[in-house]
Amino acid sequence: MRSNKLGWILLAPTLLILFFFGVLPFVYVVFVSFHQWNPFAASPEMIFNGADNFRRIVFDSAFLNSLGVTVAFVLFAVISEVIIGYMLAQAFMREFPGKAFFRTIHTLPLIMAPIIVGSVWKLMTTPSIGIIPHYLDKWFGISMNIGTSAPAAFFTIVVMDIWHWTPLVTLTLIAALVSLPRDPFEQAQIDGANKRQIFWHITLPMIAPALIATVFIRLMDALRTVDEVWMLTGGGPGSSTRFLGVHIFKEVFPKTNYGYGSTISVIVLYLTIVVCWLLYVSMLAPRNNRKG
Partner 1 sequence: MANVKIENVVKRYSNVQVMHGVDVDIEDGEFVVLVGPSGCGKSTLLRMLAGLEEISDGTISIGGRVVNDVIPKDRDIAMVFQSYALYPHKTVFDNIGFPLKMAKQPDSVIKEKVTKAAEVLDLDHLLDRYPKQLSGGQRQRVAMGRAIVRDPQVFLFDEPLSNLDAKLRVTMRVEIKELHQRLGTTIVYVTHDQIEAMTMADKIVVMRDGRVEQIGSPLDLYDHPKNVFVAGFIGSPSMNFVHGTIAVKDGKKVFLSDHGLELPVPENNARTNQAVTYGIRPEHIQVGDQGVPMKVVVVEPTGSETQVFAKSGPELIDALVKDRISAKPGSELCYMIDPANVHLFDRETEQRI
- Quote the CA–CA distance of 238 and 151 in Å, as a whole number: 12
Whether the bond into 237 is cis, omega within 30 of 0: yes
Binding mask 146-185 for partner 1 (x = CB under 8 A): -----------------------------------x-xx-
Q: Which is nearer to partner 1, 203 or 265 (CB)?
A: 203
**Under 8 Å CB-to-CB from 46, ≥6 apart: which residues?**
32, 35, 36, 37, 259
Min CB(291)–partner 1 separation in Å = 7
Q: Does 287 bind partner 1 (CB under 8 A)?
A: yes
Kindly tell me which residue out of 143, 148, 179, 189 binds partner 1, with binding defined by CB under 8 A.
Answer: 189
Q: How remote is the C-alpha of 145 from its chain's centroid?
A: 25
Q: Which is nearer to partner 1, 46 or 212 (CB)?
A: 212
- Quote the CA–CA distance of 190 and 81 in Å, as a whole number: 32
Binding mask 192-211 for partner 1 (x = CB under 8 A): xxx--x---xx--xx-----
The piece of 42-50, 71-79, 113-121, 284-292 that touches partner 1 (CB under 8 A) is 284-292
Binding positions for partner 1, 76-135, rule CB under 8 A: none
Min CB(221)–partner 1 separation in Å = 28
Q: Does 188 bind partner 1 (CB under 8 A)?
A: yes
* Cα dihedral sign, 178-181-182-184: negative
Q: Which is nearer to partner 1, 187 or 282 (CB)?
A: 187
Q: Which is nearer to partner 1, 94 or 290 (CB)?
A: 290
The piece of 60-68, 76-84, 191-199, 276-284 that touches partner 1 (CB under 8 A) is 191-199
Cβ count near 224 (within 10 Å): 15
Q: Which is nearer to partner 1, 25 or 209 (CB)?
A: 209
Residues that bind partner 1 (CB under 8 A): 181, 183-184, 186-194, 197, 201-202, 205-206, 287, 290-292
